[in-house]
Amino acid sequence: MDFSDILQPQKIFYSHLTSGLCIRPNQIYGEYKEIIDFQVDSVNASLYFIVEIDRIQFIPAKTSVSKDGTIKLALNIGGKRFCEAKITFPQIMLSNNLPPDFKSMVFGVRDVNDYFSLLKKRKYKPCTGISLDSDTTDEQIVLNVFAPTFTSKLPLLPFRVVQEAGINIGINPKILYIGQSRQIKKRANSHEKIQRALAEVNRDKDIYIYFFDFNSKVWLVDLPVEEYEALDADNPSKVDDKGRLNLVEMALINYFKPRYNSILTRSNVTSNKQVEKLMKAHHYTQLIVEVSFDSEFFSFGSDEISNKKDHLIIYQLDNPFLNMEY
């Protein structure tokens, strides 16, 4: 971060989001609810976005598995764009403990008999066989997975496959609502904003919920020296956990102005009572929140903010006329 244009010593409250979890709304209510609740807790998620993205669907007639185990995908994005991609089985496996040569141990086969014929030809050296199951639809592909001791079916959702494999398709996630995670866990079954998003979403779009945690630091900058130091990196002075969460949520809502947020979208953050109490009263001169991720699945925008991977939100508390957005 370049502080060379700041003309006086600064005490900066800086926070940045850390990625946590991305799920479909039905996962909150369905049979996996307890698992999802555990995952939300395990990533210490404190904020969530309700997000609209282009719907991703498979084209089953153009999806296949080659003999070397490569999976050829054909994707329909938002009913308007089409793309093809080739991925490998290890790319969509969630485990990080796969052997380095695992890719060379995966083969495309027709069925279980074909797999055991292959295993016999390889003199029973370890290998995995995969084939495309007839249950494959535009909403999910189903792989048959064959191993010497078991056979199983592996259903794969389009969003998860594209995300895990890092396929760039330009989905343009649009933030519809920003809130605190404790709210969604307390009233998930009647969450008005989720139900509204699901009711209003176009057929070429899907709704997802992104959960995040964030890290905060206090920076002291003594200019004209360009060096700066961090104080109380894990516990910014005079700002408790609840206060930090409120400040970050406020900045995000005021910046993105999500469609379903009715409070804070048009207010002056620098004159907010919490900012006065938590920031100005303790001589903070800047409130900064950064949203920055490498994946296009986190390249956020809204009705009023263009999609991009990096958003730097700066509120100059001692001079509100200098507030900046990058």
> Cβ(61)–Cβ(72) under 8 Å?
no
On whether the CB atoms of residues 81 and 53 are closer than 8 A, the answer is: no
Close Cβ partners of 47 (under 8 Å, ≥ 6 residues apart): 17, 178, 179, 180, 181, 211, 212, 213, 214, 245, 248, 249, 252
Residues whose CB falls within 8 Å of the CB of residue 25, separated by 6 or more in sequence, listed in order: 194, 197, 198, 207, 208, 209
d(Cα 159, Cα 215) in Å, to the nearest integer? 27
Question: For residue 46, what pLDDT is reported?
Answer: 86
Q: 118 pLDDT band (50/70/90 cuts)?
A: very high
How does residue 35 score in pLDDT terms, banded at 50, 70 and 90? very low
pLDDT attached to residue 5: 52
Q: Note the pLDDT of residue 89.
A: 86
CA–CA separation, 231 vs 237, rounded Å? 8
Q: What residues form DSSP beta bridges with 128?
A: 106
pLDDT at residue 324, rounded to an integer: 55
| pLDDT score of 323 | 59
Backbone angles phi, psi at 190, to 5 degrees: -125, 25
Q: Which residues pair with 301 in a beta bridge?
A: 174
Lowest mean pLDDT among 162-166, 231-235, 310-314: 231-235
Q: Looking at residue 100, what is its pLDDT?
A: 57
Span 209-251, pLDDT tens digits: 998 889 998 888 765 545 545 554 444 556 788 899 999 999 9
For residues 40-57, one letter each, b for 16 or more C-beta atoms within 10 angstroms of the residue's C-beta and e for the rest, the string is beebebbbbbbbbbbbbb
Q: Which residue has the tokens 């109380």?
A: 232
pLDDT tens by residue, 263-274:
999 889 888 998
CA–CA separation, 264 vs 273, rounded Å? 12
Which pLDDT score, from 0 to 100, does residue 184 have?
A: 63
Q: Does the pTM of the predicted model rise above 0.85?
A: no
What average pLDDT does range 276-299 have in this prediction?
A: 90
**The token pair that represents 130 in the structure block:** 């995969």
| Residue 95 scores a pLDDT above 80 | no
Determine which of 28-32, 164-168, 204-208 has the lowest per-residue pLDDT on average. 28-32
Phi-psi region of 285 (alpha: psi -120 to 50; beta: other; left: phi over 0): alpha
pLDDT greater at residue 25 or residue 317: 317
Measured in whole angstroms, how far is the alpha carbon of residue 40 from the centre of its chain? 13
Own/partner pairs, 264-271, CB within 8 angstroms, 24+ separation: 268/320, 269/315, 270/315, 270/316, 270/317, 270/320, 270/323, 271/320
Give 247's DSSP letter.
Answer: H
Q: How would residue 6 be classed by pLDDT, with cut points 50, 70 and 90? A: very low
Separation between Cα atoms, residue 285 and residue 231, nearest integer Å: 15
Q: Does the structure show a pLDDT above 90 at 289?
A: yes
What average pLDDT does this structure show over 118-140?
A: 92
Measuring CA to CA, how many Å separate 284 from each of 4, 132, 141, 220, 287?
18, 58, 52, 9, 8
